[in-house]
Amino acid sequence: MQVFANGELVLPDRVQRGALVVEAGRIVEIREGGAVPAGALDCGGDWLAPGLIELHTDNLERHIEPRPKVKWPQEAAILAHDAELAGCGITTVFDALRVGSLPSRTKGNYAEYARGLADVLLGLRAAGVLKISHRLHLRAEICSETLIEELARFGPGDQVGILSLMDHTPGQRQFRDLAQLRHYLAGKHGFSEAEFEAHVTERRAIFDRLGAVHEAAAVAAAQCLGAHLASHDDTTAADVAASARHGASFAEFPTTLEAAQACRAAGIKVMMGAPNLIRGGSHSGNVAAETLAVAGCLDLLSSDYIPSGLLAAALRLGDLWGDPARGLATVTAAPAEATGLADRGRLVPGLRADLIRFRRHGAAALLRGTWVKGARVA
């Protein structure tokens, strides 16, 4: 038996000084007060919260390719990614892997990788060497050439948790502002004006030829795989209506207040990026996460591309709302509910003892420890 005593417990509806009793990897009791019994871990007033649950992160891709055209050994990259997330307080992650490639393009192309990387990841998980709980999130790129073939390489045995509909066709959704896209491609890939124009023309032609077929195939694949379907970059009420018809349960990074409000009306949860909230706006010029939070249209947070931002953003939301338990729920209870993980995400007797201990330092959080099923991993 383990006792975490004298901590500020982040309970589902409040923050309260107390102790948490853990046995066999599960929470078995919650006690009120600051008493520290013999043999207990004295948290010294630090916060004790459920482990963070990350639904969409590109962080693994950064470890696989730390610099353009630099490929890192996959096992080493996954282990480094796993340790980084544990060190940020994330105890469950849905690793986002892109499916759908553009092998025939001469510049700005990208190749298939998801099936091979998933095999390595699942192998490490089966071997029991990963610190935290890893699940698969397939990012289905609608504007691609090989989506159907790549989706066919996955089956129910892979336990894919999320499939998101990604459409990066120039001129709509995330890239509706072509000036922003031009700036992005010039900075990342060194596109000239002529190359940018060719890129836009090529991508639009691919979408016109394959977009509808790919969208239907991705929705069908989510049903076959038993994955939760997510929309991505919804911009208009029409986008949201399509997401609702497809059965999307949550919307990743809607780009406008209109879309977020339409999601709420359709019963679709809204997820925004922690970097957007912390920076005070979207790097793509889209709606600010804080705008949606103030409007009551924000349910979930994702670290997106900065794992360390997840906890800090949840605390910022708690400050904004005047309710720290509600803020932290966007990275614990809410993502657990959105993906059907009924065994975690809350400090409740009977649930997994996935825990984090931290202390606030201004706007930052000083992580003091991470536990998965009661075992310390960071």
**% of the chain exceeding 70 in pLDDT:** 92
Say how far apart CA 208 and CA 216 lie, in whole Å: 14
Q: Which pLDDT score, from 0 to 100, does residue 182 have? A: 64
Residue 136 lies in a domain: yes
In this structure, is residue 373 part of a structural domain? no
Q: How far is CA 36 from CA 5, 18, 21, 44, in A?
A: 5, 9, 12, 9
Find the mean pLDDT for residues 352-369.
Answer: 95
Task: Give me the sign of the Cα torsion angle 205, 209, 213, 217.
Answer: negative
DSSP secondary-structure letter at 175? G
Which distant-in-sequence residues (6+ apart) come within 8 Å of 22 by Cβ? Answer: 1, 2, 3, 4, 28, 353, 355, 374
Tell me whether residue 106 is in a domain: yes
Question: Which residues constitute the domain of residue 291?
Answer: 51-345
Residue spans of alpha helices (H) in 22-177 = 59-64, 74-87, 114-127, 147-151
Calculate mean pLDDT across residues 81-105.
Answer: 93
Does residue 376 sit within a domain? no
pLDDT digits (tens, 9 = 90+) for 16-44: 999 999 999 999 999 999 999 999 999 99
Distance of alpha carbon 334 from alpha carbon 368, whole angstroms: 23
The answer to whether the beta carbons of residues 70 and 31 sit under 8 Å apart is: no
pLDDT of residue 179: 63
Q: Are 225 and 154 in contact (CB under 8 A)?
A: yes
CA 98 to chain centre: 14
Q: Residue 274's pLDDT band (boundaries 50, 70, 90)?
A: very high
Residue 46 lies in a domain: no
- 350, 295, 355: which is closest to 23 by C-alpha? 350
Q: What is the pLDDT of residues 129-146, one digit of tens each?
A: 999 999 999 999 998 999
The CATH number covering residue 288 comes to: 3.20.20.140
Q: What is the pLDDT averaged over residues 122-132?
A: 98
Provide the residue type at 10 as one letter.
V
Average pLDDT, the chain: 92
Domain count, the chain: 1
pTM here is 0.93
* Structural domain includes residue 361: no
